[in-house]
Amino acid sequence: MGSIVINGKRVNYTGTISFENGRFFLDGKELEDLESLTKDQKHIEIKVVGDIDRLQVDTCDNLYIEGSCNKVKTVNGEVEIGGNVFGDVESVNGEIEIHGYVSGDVKTVNGNIKRK
């Protein structure tokens, strides 16, 4: 079982988690109970603490991977990998900083990739 922390609140889930247009989805099904965590928030921070399958985020300020994830994909936001990603890490706009392990490709269109 994995968990994510959204703006300081821990939520336990497994599977593919997506955050699109201010709404959360688990394996394609909308999780309406999570909408209040980001509604009207100017700063959105998402942290993966446990193990999840895949994380796809359109926009957030900071995305931290402290646990394990098979694939990470973002459009806008900074990504920091402190845990393990067993696939690719992709970003369109944002820095990617790697302190942990990534077994796949790492790419960003507008940003830098830093390995620590």
29-54 pLDDT, tens digit each? 887 766 666 666 667 888 888 888 88
Compute the distance between CA of residue 54 and CA of residue 17 in angstroms, rounded to an integer: 6
Say whether pLDDT at 64 is over 90.
Answer: yes
Compute the distance between CA of residue 3 and CA of residue 67 in angstroms, rounded to an integer: 9
Span 72-90, pLDDT tens digits: 999 999 999 999 999 999 9
Tokens of 12: 């336990």
